[in-house]
A and B are shown apart, each in its own frame.
Chain A
Amino acid sequence: EVRLVESGGGLVQPGGSLRLSCAASGFTFSSYAMTWVRQAPGKGLEWVSNIISGGGTTFYADSVKGRFTISRDNSKNTLYLQMNSLRAEDTAVYYCAKDLYYYESSVDHWGQGTLVTVSS
């Protein structure tokens, strides 16, 4: 059974940093691309970032480019999202998601999400 468990969310002040982690199990982590998707309170889904299976290629939404960094440690079956220069508009539930293939594709499994609140 595929399991994705996010951690690292919490309350942070504007301008601060946070690192999200996603522990994956139940599949060969190194064979699949992974995606972060966020959802602000009461709003729709927003694609944030994607990393291909080997970790060498990453993609970002314009809204987070230059501030967020996606990475993965295939030896630890863990996905990360380093978030710097956080803004109030980054407040959201962040979902870790497994892609269908080794490259960008449909999400086929979602984590439960971790809440990030940016506020003073």
Chain B
Amino acid sequence: NFILTQPHSVSESPGKTVTISCTRSSGSIASNYVHWYQQRPGSVPTTVIFEDDQRPSGVPDRFSGSIDRSSNSASLTISGLKTEDEADYYCQSYDRSNQGVFGGGTKLTVL
């Protein structure tokens, strides 16, 4: 099994751009798709990015995803930050034995 490591917290001002990283401990980040979920305080998670860089319908194009083989990491980038983006963000993937793996989550503060 591998571990997905995320920064515990990030903060940025409204209107700015923030990037949240998700680093895979072993094996290639490209081996399995990475998905990203947003969980606002007191709410159920929702999907903001699936399959590395795909955006579900209804998710603003301010949200984008990518993977970087050189750093073995995935990234979630949110541009034009809004106060409503303040939430916990989780990356998730599957390992070779089909077990799901979540990152520890990143708390985004928009101040």
> Which residues of chain A have a CB within 8 Å of any CB of chain B?
35, 37, 44-47, 50, 59-62, 95, 100, 104-108, 110-113
When distances are taken between beta carbons in the complex, the residues of chain A under 8 Å from B99 are 47, 59-62
When distances are taken between beta carbons in the complex, the residues of chain B under 8 Å from A95 are 44-45
B90 in the interface, Cβ–Cβ < 8 Å? yes
The tally of CB-CB contacts under 8 A between chains A and B is 62
Asked if B45 and A106 make an inter-chain contact with CB atoms under 8 angstroms apart, the answer reads: no
Chain A nearest CB from B91 CB (Å) reads 10
B101 in the interface, Cβ–Cβ < 8 Å? yes
Asked if A108 and B50 make an inter-chain contact with CB atoms under 8 angstroms apart, the answer reads: yes
* Count of residues in B whose CB is under 8 Å from the partner chain: 25
B92 in the interface, Cβ–Cβ < 8 Å? yes
Chain B nearest CB from A38 CB (Å) reads 10
Of A45, A46, A61, the residue contacting B37 (CB under 8 A) is A45
> Which residues of chain B have a CB within 8 Å of any CB of chain A?
1, 33, 35, 37, 39, 44-47, 50-51, 56, 88, 90, 92, 94, 97-105
Asked if B51 and A106 make an inter-chain contact with CB atoms under 8 angstroms apart, the answer reads: yes
Chain A nearest CB from B104 CB (Å) reads 5
Asked if B100 and A100 make an inter-chain contact with CB atoms under 8 angstroms apart, the answer reads: no
What is the bound-complex CA distance between A59 and B51, given in angstroms?
20
Chain B nearest CB from A92 CB (Å) reads 13
Most chain B beta-carbon neighbours within 10 Å: one of A62, A106, A110: A106
What is the bound-complex CA distance between A50 and B35, given in angstroms?
16
When distances are taken between beta carbons in the complex, the residues of chain B under 8 Å from A108 are 47, 50, 56
Asked if A44 and B104 make an inter-chain contact with CB atoms under 8 angstroms apart, the answer reads: yes
